[in-house]
Amino acid sequence: MVRSVSVGFGGSCALLSTGVVQCWGEGSYGSLGDGSTGTTSRPRKVVEVAGLGPSVQAIAVAQFKACAITSAGTLRCWGQNDSQQLAIDPKLEGSSTPVQVNGWLDRSTVAVALGERHGCAVSSTGDVACWGDNRSYQGGAASPSLLSAATTVQGLAARAVSVAVTLESSCALLETGHVQCWGANEVGQLGNGGDKVSPSASAAPLDVVALEGVTQIMAAKDTLCAVSNGGVKCWGLSEFSTLGVNQSDTWVPIAIPGVTSGVKAIAGSGETICALLDTGVVECWGLDDVGQVGDQPRTSVTGSVSTPTAVKDLEPAVSVSVGGDNGQEACAALATGGIKCWGEVFHSETSLATSSVVPQWIAGF
């Protein structure tokens, strides 16, 4: 049985109900975590991540890298390290097996999020620490440089429970149900109610305005979203209808029409976003150039879908993930225990032999 699935650019991983993590796709930089660095043969072979054992509670996958949290709260990461995304020896381009993040040795981890060039984690005490690229202050440190070790973010208003990261910004969901963000702000990623006249980056966490009752946050490129009082609200970049409506970038969260209640979880990458409803239905919107919205027969003429649309031919899901360079691949873990994926096959993140706008079963689960 599959508990959850996470799609990245270059590969994907599934967390099984046994606590084992299995990955597939391209193994560049060791992103499969099994000690290899090559691409698995088609149809994609599923491999088990080495050294983790049957004790993993959560996983996160991004571009050629991944992290896992064990039942003991230990954080282990593997894959690409060219911008210190793993916070290991700067001389190493990556690791093909899970390694400990420097600066996080004695902390118990409850959540982790990965971006293209940096990552952040939440400890059991509610602290947030980030590592990797901080040149836009997305790591929360005052010095705009690479962070070779997990560095605690200062100034959070309350204990954090989860994090989300874009390319150049980061956000924390606080136990109060509010959200704070830091880093770049050119298109409103910080959600602080500013505008294009004052797009200043910030190393200090800023309050996301007009947002409360949040249970989950998510980042897709430079668009950020939250499940707020059961509905979805988003802010930041408006590209290919990622804000669900035809409007410009916004510094203030706006409600996404069509997903205003009953939302269990959200996922996104690039310019595509999906919401998992409490009924098990998955609805997606945004970029749809290769069918990643799953709206077969295709309803998009312009290459994007502005209205959340149910993914067709998909059994009730328990987890959904969107990945790839432009959010062009998506997968869902199903209540029946398997995985279905749809979208483009580039590095075979979806494990399909060919691209598909219709969800297809993934062999091996």
Reported as a single tens digit per residue, the pLDDT across 17-31 is 999 999 988 888 899
Instruction: Report pLDDT digits (tens) over 241-298.
Output: 899 877 789 999 999 999 999 999 999 998 999 999 999 999 999 998 888 898 876 6
Domain count for the chain: 1
Residue 318 is assigned to a structural domain of this protein? no
Predicted local distance difference test score (pLDDT) of residue 355 = 60
Predicted local distance difference test score (pLDDT) of residue 250 = 92
Residues in Cβ contact with 106 at an 8 Å cutoff, skipping those fewer than 6 apart: none
- Asked whether the predicted pLDDT for residue 91 surpasses 60, the reply is yes
- Asked whether the predicted pLDDT for residue 150 surpasses 80, the reply is yes
Distances (CA, A) of 22 to 6, 8, 53, 348: 11, 14, 11, 15
Opening angle at CA 80, ends 78 and 85, nearest 5: 85
Residue with tokens 């995304």: 85
Gap between the terminal Cα atoms of the chain = 7
Q: Is 28 helix (H, G, I), strand (E, B) or coil?
A: helix
Q: How confident is the model at residue 308 (pLDDT cuts 50, 70, 90)?
A: very high
Q: How confident is the model at residue 9 (pLDDT cuts 50, 70, 90)?
A: confident
Q: Using CA atoms, how far apart are residues 54 and 52, in angstroms rounded to an integer?
A: 7
Whose CA is closest to 186, among 203, 205, 199?
Answer: 199
Which strands, in side-by-side order, build the sheet including 339-343? 317-323, 329-334, 339-343, 356-361
Predicted local distance difference test score (pLDDT) of residue 54 = 94
- Asked whether the predicted pLDDT for residue 345 surpasses 70, the reply is no
43 cis-preceded (ω within 30 degrees of 0): yes
Q: Using CA atoms, how far apart are residues 197 and 249, in angstroms rounded to an integer?
A: 13
Residue 348 is assigned to a structural domain of this protein? no
Predicted local distance difference test score (pLDDT) of residue 353 = 47
Residue 323 is assigned to a structural domain of this protein? no
64 with 32: CB under 8 angstroms?
Answer: no
Tokens describing residue 155: 């100034």
What's the CATH code of the domain at 180? Answer: 2.130.10.30
Residue 314 is assigned to a structural domain of this protein? no
Instruction: Report pLDDT digits (tens) over 46-70.
Output: 889 999 989 999 999 998 999 999 9
Predicted local distance difference test score (pLDDT) of residue 41 = 45
Residue 30 is assigned to a structural domain of this protein? yes
Residue 106 is assigned to a structural domain of this protein? yes
What is the maximum alpha-carbon separation in the chain? 52
Q: How confident is the model at residue 43 (pLDDT cuts 50, 70, 90)?
A: very low
Q: Using CA atoms, how far apart are residues 189 and 157, in angstroms rounded to an integer?
A: 19
214 with 173: CB under 8 angstroms?
Answer: yes
How large a percentage of the chain has pLDDT more than 70? 91
Strand 109-114 relative to strand 94-100, pairing: unpaired
Residue 28's φ and ψ, nearest 5 degrees, are -55, 140
Which strands, in side-by-side order, build the sheet including 11-16? 2-7, 11-16, 21-25, 47-48
156 with 178: CB under 8 angstroms?
Answer: no
Residue 295 is assigned to a structural domain of this protein? no
Opening angle at CA 321, ends 314 and 82, nearest 5: 150
Q: Using CA atoms, how far apart are residues 16 and 56, in angstroms rounded to an integer?
A: 9
Q: DSSP labels for 210-261?
A: S--SEEEEEEETTEEEEEETTEEEEEE---TTTTSSS---EEEEEE-TT-SS
Residue 308 is assigned to a structural domain of this protein? no
Whose CA is closest to 361, among 47, 120, 5?
Answer: 5
Q: Using CA atoms, how far apart are residues 181 and 172, in angstroms rounded to an integer?
A: 6
Q: Using CA atoms, how far apart are residues 287 and 292, in angstroms rounded to an integer?
A: 7
What domain range includes position 197?
Answer: 2-266
Predicted local distance difference test score (pLDDT) of residue 197 = 62
